[in-house]
Amino acid sequence: MDEVFADKIDSIAVAIILSTIAYSSGGHAQDWSAALAVFIGFRYTQCTARLASLEPLKSSESNALLVSKEFVWALTFYLLGSYPLVFGAGTFLTYPFWRRRLFGLVRPIFFGQNQDATPKVLSHRV
């Protein structure tokens, strides 16, 4: 499985969850608008996560700001009763962690390993 395919799987899962939350929150225009905003933000986060993996730069200040920002947004959205946005804040906050975990679980099924341990997509060709 390549990164683009994995991004599509992640996007479908997030879209389903956001739609469920928006519908069960009342299905008002603000719920659907919030869900759409979160989904677009999630797609942006996917792109930036891929770019960050190409140029890994550990920054504790940046990580602390990200955690603080998403926590405050989640609290604000919870107090406003906008549950799709609460989910969105939690998704953005935890995306790098659950994405690594997902790849850890999926990689043995979809990827072969060559001798230098670089993942390669299994081909249907013989």
Provide the pLDDT for residue 17: 95
Q: What is the pLDDT of residue 30?
A: 83
Q: Report yes or no on 65 lying in a domain.
A: yes
Looking at the DSSP bridge assignments, the partners of residue 119 are 113
* pLDDT score recorded for residue 99: 73
User: Please, what are the averages of pLDDT over each run of 10 residues along the chain (126 residues)?
Assistant: 82 94 90 85 79 64 68 85 87 78 56 46 42
In this prediction the pTM is 0.56
What pLDDT shows up at residue 108?
44
Look at residue 126 in the predicted model and tell me its pLDDT.
Answer: 38
Domain contains 126: no
On whether the CB atoms of residues 10 and 46 are closer than 8 A, the answer is yes
- CA 44/CA 47 separation, integer angstroms: 5
pLDDT at 14: 93
User: In the chain, how many domains are there?
Assistant: 1
Number of helices (H) and strands (E) in the chain: give both, helices first.
Answer: 4, 2
Decide if 105 is inside a domain: yes
Domain range for residue 80?
3-121
Contacts of 113 (CB under 8 A, 6+ apart): 119, 120
Contact (Cβ atoms closer than 8 angstroms) between residue 11 and residue 46:
yes
What token pair was written down for 3?
């990164």
pLDDT at 4: 79
Q: State residue 112's pLDDT score.
A: 47
- If DSSP states are collapsed to H, E and C, what string results for 9-30? HHHHHHHHHHHHHHHHCCCCHH
Residue 98 covered by a domain: yes
pLDDT value, residue 82: 86
Task: Please tell me the predicted confidence (pLDDT) of residue 104.
Answer: 63
Does 22 reside within a domain? Answer: yes
- Residue tagged 């956001």 (tokens): 18
Within 8 A by CB and 6+ apart from 66, the residues are 93
